Amino acid sequence: MQPPADSTDVVHVIKGVIDAEEAAIEQYEKIIRLCDGYDYVTQDMCITLLADEQQHRREFVGFLKEYESQQS
């Protein structure tokens, strides 16, 4: 993610964070599938990390909705 030309473009930054969280979620989901039946410790750790990333995404989606509603 490149910084926006306008450093006060909060919406751009929030959307960038959401995109990064979604990419991390996809990677953890892949690792969880790959570990299934082979490496339960890594799989369990990734499940925990996945939940963290999903929570972060929910928070930033909420920030985006709140910020956009204030701009209207």
pLDDT at residue 12, rounded to an integer: 87
Question: What pLDDT does residue 10 have?
Answer: 86
Residue 29: predicted pLDDT: 98
pLDDT score at 68: 84
Domain map of the chain by residue range? 39-67
Answer with the residue of higher pLDDT: 23 or 3: 23
In angstroms, the CA 11 to CA 1 distance is: 13
Chain segment 11-52, per-residue pLDDT in tens: 888 999 999 999 999 999 999 999 999 999 999 999 999 999
